[in-house]
A and B are shown apart, each in its own frame.
Chain A
Amino acid sequence: DVKVTQSSRYLVKRTGEKVFLECVQDMDHENMFWYRQDPGLGLRLIYFSYDVKMKEKGDIPEGYSVSREKKERFSLILESASTNQTSMYLCASSVTTGLYEQYFGPGTRLTVT
C-alpha cells in the first residue's frame, strides 16, 4: 500500500515563527502536493512538485515556500507564521502515468497563536 506520512498530526506555533512541515511518500511517486483545508473553502493547492528540485505555485502560494531535495520528501515552509495560516495541511503524492489519483497523508493541524 502507498503510504504518505506527515511529520506531525498537531502543531502549535507562535506568530512570526518559522514552521517546517515534512511529508514523505514511499511509492516513488513523481508528483507531490501541499494543500490546506479550511471549512467552507475546501482543499486549496499551495504548491506542487513534479520532480526533485522542481516546484510550481498552486492557487494560494503567498506566505509559503517548499523544498524537494529528495524524490520521496516534500517540505512546506512557513517563513513567518501568521494566525491566518491556522489550518489543516495535507500532503499528497501521485504518479504521472496511468491513473492519476492522489494519495494523501493524515494531515497536520497547525494552530498559530
Chain B
Amino acid sequence: SQKIEQNSEALNIQEGKTATLTCNYTNYSPAYLQWYRQDPGRGPVFLLLIRENEKEKRKERLKVTFDTTLKQSLFHITASQPADSATYLCALDYFGGGTASKLTFGTGTRLQVTL
C-alpha cells in the first residue's frame, strides 16, 4: 500500500530563515500533490496544489516542488514568521478530481518559528 513519510520530528527555525519540509512517498506517483496547514484544534486549510507534470509552484512566500523520480515533494516557506508556526500536511491525489477523487494524507510536520 502507499506510504507517505513526513518528518515526524518538529522543525524549529529562526524567524527570517527559509523552512523546508519534506514529503516522501512510495510506489506510484500521484496525479496531484497538495499541501495543507493545520493549526491546533482546527481543520486543515489548503495552501497549494502541484500537478505531476509541474516541477515547481509558488504562492507568495510559499514554494512547492514535485520530483516524481525521487518520489518527493519539498515545501518551502521563505522569510518565515512566528505566525507560520503550525503543522503542515502533504496529501496525494491519485485520480485528479472527479467522483473518485480522494486524498491520502501524511502525518504532518510541525513547524515552530522562533524570534
> Residues on B close to A: CB < 8 A?
8, 32, 34, 41-46, 49, 89, 93, 96-108
Contacts and interface: CB of A to CB of B under 8 A. Distances in A.
B105 A42 contact: yes
A87 to B, nearest CB: 14
Q: Categorize the interface residue count of chain A.
A: 20 to 34
Contact of A40 (B8, B100, B105): B8
A interface, over-half SS: loop
Interface of A: 4, 30-31, 33, 35, 40-45, 48, 50-51, 58, 90, 92, 94-107
Contact of B46 (A98, A102, A105): A102
Contacts of A103: 46
A98 B97 CA distance: 8
Nearest to B6: A42
